[in-house]
Chain A
């Protein structure tokens, strides 16, 4: 019986090549899209779930109230580790991590590499296997270093790195004590090497005891059997009990939630990455469903052709069940061919998809699980797309179909019409969403940053830059490379530090207000192109007392309640700082959020970055060449490294840009698959009504009349879909936009544009067949009946 089914399926596929092609292509595109999304989802949900001890691993978090709002954050005081180790017997191991960036020198080779400082326990807590070396001892010595395989290869080529010595930052020599397997693509950790924490303590020259400085990440491994609830009760007061900070609660965030559930609101987890994953999973399911709907619609539309076969089979003894399995077998076979095609599509598009999603996904051809899942996926698709047609076709009554009186009903509401409406509803929702995502992106990109990004460059202060800063600044200016130079604490596009330690006259007792902290040695407003609203820029050379001067932004003036800010005293610990100027608000962090209050401190603070405004009389290349000469002259061991502020600023839109591109891609695919189905239905309909068209033409109908008659039905369905899609899309995008304080209003034009686009595409799809049918010679069609 099985052989008979395969035979007849195969012959049917060959006989109706057009429909076969539409069915297989549509299903393949749908399956490939869904599978790509599922690959991505799989990668996301597997983040840091490969650690053997993941069920006992936690990250230390703080919880406190600022400006009346509860916040949670994952950086902790450095000193928390020793307290956890000493006072909490439930905790088995603790390690900290902190970023570092060093120049590695090996003979003539100079490389700047990013790594982590960490405690020796890190290697035994997490499952990052070593290729060489000992997990337990690799980070015991202060000048030992663990390299990833990739880093080892970068530095030593094919030579064995173990035991070799590397010069770090032209100061110290480190010995390679272990080589680690490269980090997998599903971990939040990102380092090229690990260095012992003891070295950080040496560089820092001070043992950190300050419970108020939250600057590192602390990881804890609990003993078996200790529950999250139990330990959270214990660690809650750890900061309070060690310091005079009374308003911080500490809690542990479990490894199983690090990646997916990291968004906190009012001290509670409210989601995070999981929201995107859910959204994408829904999109994947819908794209697959839409492709399956094509199959259902084309199969049932062509049912009249299959009706006779069903009748005959029933007459000669086929049961309904055997017919259902025959038709399901057919759809599974088509799904199988589509699956093969989908795999080819995935293979071809994977690198593009990886670029788009910033991932390194691969197809695990060697994994039996992959093939098993793929087969199940094919089976699922086949059953999903084939079950409705199978039930529909197998229920034909032989008496009717064999008499030739059978005509598929053209009811006002048929399942086929409902399915087309479902397809287009989803497609239109995606189109509307795409337009709104792109509008929001543009809206934020066009927001005034408050400073001039153009030709503004920064370089991190490495090696001797700090020591030679004045010389460098002067030569940058005199060489003509730059027109203004300012030393700052952080790049203009990043907020590196904030504090609620400031007090001023009139500050409410007990108020906890957090300020962004930013430092400059002077020329700040000139270099950045900022607008001074009141007072002046900090200039310690002209006003020696300016070493303790500060500038405020507008948001600070407002929140501090100063009517006349100039001359006010702001205290930070023991430092009394005088306000000398007020600058217009500028965007330091998120372009989607309001500008936060900010205090810009003068020269008596710390610095990490040099910003310089390039001279617009020269070409950029000339300026950079001159600047490189200056940095090389005073910091010869380090490569010249520079960042354009406008490039860095553009990176703030990466996530939204990606969302926009993915939304466009999925909307395009959905429309493509839906139109493929519509095209098939239109083709079938044109064939089916060929006699009617002939009669109408003989009676005097015009080509236009016939075309619009045939197109009208489909366009009505698209219209109905639009009515469903509009509120859905509005609701969805309205809630998406709530995540942004600066958001574009949803205008009626978005919906009009989406309607016009969808209707145009549908008209093109349907009218091709309709016009073809309308142009056909009626003599032929009538005679052939």
Chain B
């Protein structure tokens, strides 16, 4: 599904140039659950952003589903993104002014799903995430675990092929964290490819494969059994 080759990304300020990704190459197959680990500043979030088409690489190739997209402009990337990728963030990133239902509905609006279909699909996914009873609440009225469920519901409502999770349990206690990991595992078992950035060895153990980064390069890959 994903093949990146010699990917490079630099951050420049007036005085210094930082290399975030240094000729990084890797592959992720459809249906895989991959964890990316490494110390702060090793480039894992940069990698995730490029994989999620939120950011573009300075050099190298990124092939997504057989299409080279490294040179895509923002509009094309946005279009590809909204049909194929769901995001889960550490800080949930729900819109405070929208209710649970409306937050989950948002991706469907941007992909042009009809109103009746939207209701059906949002209800379906809320049911699955067991937060149907909170559908008319605002994010501030929910616990952290509930908020992350809403965020996951929003990530999967469009039935994406790939879910990118950036430390999804980072702001949760262990019990809520485990619930979230179970949810991601379920989704993966149903066929969704998942790439997750994490600091937690515990969470990484849910994945099939761990890619360890240091200074923008792969230093080790562990296959989980």
Contacts and interface: CB of A to CB of B under 8 A. Distances in A.
A312 B107 contact: no
A81 interface: no
B97 A317 contact: no
B93 A314 contact: no
Contact of A317 (B45, B102, B107): B107
Contact of B93 (A8, A320, A402): A402
Contact of A315 (B87, B105, B109, B111): B87
Contacts of B98: 4, 7-8, 11
B91 A404 contact: yes
A613 to B, nearest CB: 78
B89 A402 contact: yes
Nearest to A11: B97
B49 interface: yes
Contact of B75 (A308, A311, A319, A398): A319
B74 A4 contact: no
Interface in A357-399: 397-399
Contact of A316 (B49, B55, B75, B106): B106
B154 interface: yes
A309 interface: yes
Given A4-B106, A7-B102, A319 B78 contact: yes
Nearest to A320: B74
B81 interface: yes
A550 B42 CA distance: 107
B54 interface: yes
A313 interface: yes
Given A1-B109, A309-B97, A317 B82 contact: yes
B7 interface: no
A319 to B, nearest CB: 5
Contacts of B55: 397, 399
A605 interface: no
B54 A316 contact: no
B180 interface: no
Contacts of A4: 98, 102, 105-106, 109
A318 B54 CA distance: 12
A318 B110 contact: yes
A523 to B, nearest CB: 85
B94 A316 contact: no
Contacts of A399: 49, 54-55
B78 A314 contact: yes
B95 interface: yes
A322 interface: yes
A15 B97 contact: yes
A326 to B, nearest CB: 11
Which of A11, A12, A15 has most B Cβ within 10 Å?
A11
Q: Contact residue range for chain A?
A: 20 to 34
Contacts of A318: 78, 110
Interface string A1-25: 1001001100110010000000000
A314 B95 CA distance: 12
A553 to B, nearest CB: 78
A315 B54 contact: yes
Contacts of B54: 314-315, 397-399
Contacts of A319: 75, 78-79, 110
Contact of B95 (A309, A398, A403): A309
A403 B167 CA distance: 12
A15 B140 CA distance: 14
Interface in A401-434: 402-404
Interface string A297-319: 00000000000110111111111
Contacts of B87: 315-316
Contacts of B158: 317
Interface string A307-346: 0110111111111101000000000000000000000000
Which of A1, A7, A320, A399 has most B Cβ within 10 Å?
A399
Interface string B53-94: 011000000000000000000110011011100010101011
Nearest to A321: B75
A530 B109 CA distance: 87
Interface string B97-134: 11000100111011100000000000000000000000
A317 B95 contact: no
Given A1-B109, A7-B102, A402-B89, A12 B97 contact: yes
Given A1-B109, A11-B97, A316 B154 contact: yes
A405 to B, nearest CB: 11
B222 to A, nearest CB: 27
Nearest to B151: A312
A759 B93 CA distance: 43
A312 B93 contact: yes
A21 to B, nearest CB: 18
Nearest to A15: B97
Interface string B143-170: 0000000000010001000000000000
B86 to A, nearest CB: 8
A317 B111 contact: yes
Contacts of B52: 315
Given A8-B98, A399-B54, A399-B55, A313 B106 contact: yes
Contacts of B109: 1, 4
Contacts of B97: 8, 11-12, 15, 309
A317 B93 CA distance: 14
Contacts of A8: 95, 97-98
A311 B93 contact: yes
Given A317-B81, A317-B110, A398-B54, A312 B74 contact: no
A314 B49 CA distance: 13
A12 B97 CA distance: 7
Nearest to A8: B97
B93 A308 contact: yes
A433 B110 CA distance: 53
A566 B81 CA distance: 103
A132 B45 CA distance: 87
Nearest to B52: A315
A317 B89 contact: no
B82 A316 contact: yes
A397 B78 CA distance: 12
Nearest to A3: B115
A317 B109 CA distance: 9
B146 to A, nearest CB: 17
Nearest to A404: B91
A320 B98 CA distance: 20
Contacts of B102: 4, 7
Interface of B: 45, 49, 52, 54-55, 74-75, 78-79, 81-83, 87, 89, 91, 93-95, 97-98, 102, 105-107, 109-111, 154, 158
25 contacts: A4-B102, A4-B106, A7-B98, A7-B102, A11-B97, A11-B98, A308-B93, A308-B95, A309-B95, A311-B93, A312-B93, A312-B106, A314-B78, A316-B82, A316-B87, A316-B110, A317-B107, A319-B78, A397-B55, A398-B54, A399-B54, A402-B89, A402-B93, A403-B45, A404-B91
Given A311-B93, A317-B82, A319-B110, 11 more contacts: A4-B109, A8-B95, A12-B97, A313-B106, A315-B81, A316-B82, A317-B158, A320-B74, A322-B110, A399-B55, A404-B91
